């Protein structure tokens, strides 16, 4: 018989837990986080999160996160489609079987909010097979006027076998998982902010009132909205607020599940649409942000972006900001050399004939990192020559000067070796306004 323990997912944000000494990035810690972190949903093992977001939650460098995840993925314990931002832990459902039809409905709601991709289809097929209530997956599902996911008419029939989990003996095999996450609707409710001991293999029942609340909330949280409380605006309203105030900024054309979920969460925290409109107008009024691909609705929906915009953190052009402190590593000198500032812009020299070796390094690098990261940080870079055996590369601004050596040293090392080049890299800011 498998043994289980409950873990409250809020543990990862608990003040006392966060204050404890933390380990260096490692695959074991990442595995526990994937099973129990706040990104988990009612659908066992399936959630939407990008690798950068997960690394940020753990306060790990992105390359270290990627190395640890590759170790987990190499043992077939988890899968990910980082382009779609979908993660799937196949054996999680064995340890979190559905106990009733409402639990499976919560699974379906969670699945509907995960971006469409082949990995989500694979996960949905596995959850349908393991649910014990496959008929629930045949029910129609749509969004009502309040933005809640509702099922179509018709009630699925009761399970004739009387086995609510539909999982045979109910004893999972394998050793890939051993925890049940607290935000899963199949786990019931409990108190405390850490780990609760006790064998959870027995059957638990919910009251009719709890099941109705689960229907209302959509993810099985069992916490209905406070009676009479003002409801926050819908994500669609926030989308319209962005588009009507964005000026030269990119248009937000749709509300995919990930964006809608982020918008709903942020609107619960800040329901005042005028604050959002004011922040969008402020961003739109800043000339140096025009044409910046990262200034989007998704950027504004990040937890601290609204406050940062209101505080004027983005009001000054990046290249006029104070230079970052010197960084020491394999790919930069002890100080970042920068062209002397004059009244006019000082462009760096043109690239060597054929672009030098850097285009080949970029080609090798592109196969080693996410394409979105490549486009953001490396597409605009160019080689400007060599000096004393050091490869000199132009970047667009101080953010690039600090971030690239800090986050991509290992990947750049591999790309250089693949090109037969073993030299350090020195980065300089192109004061002429970036690289075309």
**What is the reported pLDDT for 2?**
57
Q: By the 8 A CB rule, do 429 and 394 touch?
A: yes
Q: Which of 77, 79, 24 is CA-nearest to residue 51?
A: 79
Please state the domain extents for the chain: 5-212, 235-315, 320-429
Q: Where do we find the tokens 């809640």?
A: 148
**What is the reported pLDDT for 427?**
87
pLDDT digits (tens, 9 = 90+) for 354-364: 678 889 899 88
**What is the reported pLDDT for 30?**
95
Distance of CA 199 to the CA centre of its chain: 32
- What mean pLDDT is predicted for residues 313-324? 54
pLDDT at 220 over 80: no
Sheet holding 425-429, edge to edge: 382-387, 390-395, 425-429
pLDDT at 184 over 50: no
**What is the reported pLDDT for 1?**
43
For the ranges 45-54, 231-240, 323-332, the lowest mean pLDDT is seen at 323-332
Most confident of 34-43, 143-152, 339-348: 34-43
Which pLDDT band, with edges at 50, 70 and 90, does 77 fall under? very high
What is the pLDDT of the chain when averaged over all its residues?
73
pLDDT at 5 over 90: no
For the ranges 34-38, 65-69, 372-376, the lowest mean pLDDT is seen at 372-376
Domain 320-429 of CATH type 3.30.300.180: yes
Q: Which of 72, 96, 76, 78 is CA-nearest to residue 2?
A: 96
pLDDT at 348 over 60: yes
**What is the reported pLDDT for 371?**
78
**What is the reported pLDDT for 26?**
94
Q: Which of 275, 270, 276 is CA-nearest to residue 242?
A: 276
66, 70, 73, 78 alpha-carbon torsion, rounded to 10° = -20
Distance of CA 2 to the CA centre of its chain: 31
Which pLDDT band, with edges at 50, 70 and 90, does 350 fall under? low
């Amino acid at each position: 018989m498998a043994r289980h323990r409950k873990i409250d997912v809020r543990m990862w944000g608990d003040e006392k837990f966060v204050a404890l000494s933390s380990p260096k990035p490692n695959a074991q810690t990442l595995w526990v986080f994937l099973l129990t972190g706040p990104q988990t949903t009612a659908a066992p093992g399936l959630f939407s999160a990008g690798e950068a977001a997960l690394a940020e939650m753990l306060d790990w460098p992105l390359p270290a996160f990627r190395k640890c995840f590759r170790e987990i993925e190499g043992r077939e314990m988890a899968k990910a489609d980082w382009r779609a931002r979908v993660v799937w832990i196949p054996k999680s459902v064995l340890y979190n079987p559905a106990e009733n039809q409402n639990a499976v409905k919560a699974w379906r709601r969670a699945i509907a909010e995960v971006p469409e991709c082949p990995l989500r289809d694979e996960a949905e097929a596995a959850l349908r097979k393991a649910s014990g209530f496959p008929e629930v997956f045949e029910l129609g599902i749509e969004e009502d006027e309040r933005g809640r996911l509702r099922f179509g008419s018709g009630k699925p029939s009761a399970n004739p076998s009387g086995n609510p989990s539909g999982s045979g003996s109910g004893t999972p095999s394998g050793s890939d998982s051993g925890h049940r996450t607290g935000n899963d609707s199949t786990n019931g409710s409990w108190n405390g902010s850490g780990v609760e001991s006790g064998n959870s293999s027995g059957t638990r029942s919910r009251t009719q009132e709890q099941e109705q609340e689960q229907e209302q909330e959509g993810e099985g949280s069992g916490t209905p909205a406070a009676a009479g409380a003002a409801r926050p605006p819908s994500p669609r309203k926030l989308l319209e607020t962005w588009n009507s105030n964005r000026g030269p900024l990119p248009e937000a054309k749709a509300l995919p599940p990930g964006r809608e979920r982020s918008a709903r969460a942020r609107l619960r925290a800040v329901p005042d649409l005028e604050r959002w409109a004011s922040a969008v107008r402020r961003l739109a009024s800043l000339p140096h942000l025009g044409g910046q691909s990262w200034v989007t609705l998704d950027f504004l929906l990040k937890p601290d972006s609204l406050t940062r915009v209101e505080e004027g953190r983005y009001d000054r052009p990046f290249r006029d900001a104070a230079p970052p402190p010197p960084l020491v590593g394999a790919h930069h000198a002890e100080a970042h050399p920068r062209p002397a500032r004059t009244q006019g812009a000082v462009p760096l020299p043109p690239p060597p004939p054929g672009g030098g070796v850097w285009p080949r390094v970029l080609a090798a690098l592109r196969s080693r990192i996410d394409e979105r990261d490549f486009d953001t940080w490396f597409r605009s870079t160019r080689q400007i020559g060599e000096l004393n055996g050091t490869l000199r590369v132009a970047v667009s601004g101080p953010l690039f000067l600090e971030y690239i050596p800090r986050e991509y040293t290992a990947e750049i090392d591999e790309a250089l070796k693949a090109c037969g080049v073993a030299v350090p890299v020195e980065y300089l800011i192109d004061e002429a306004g970036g690289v075309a």
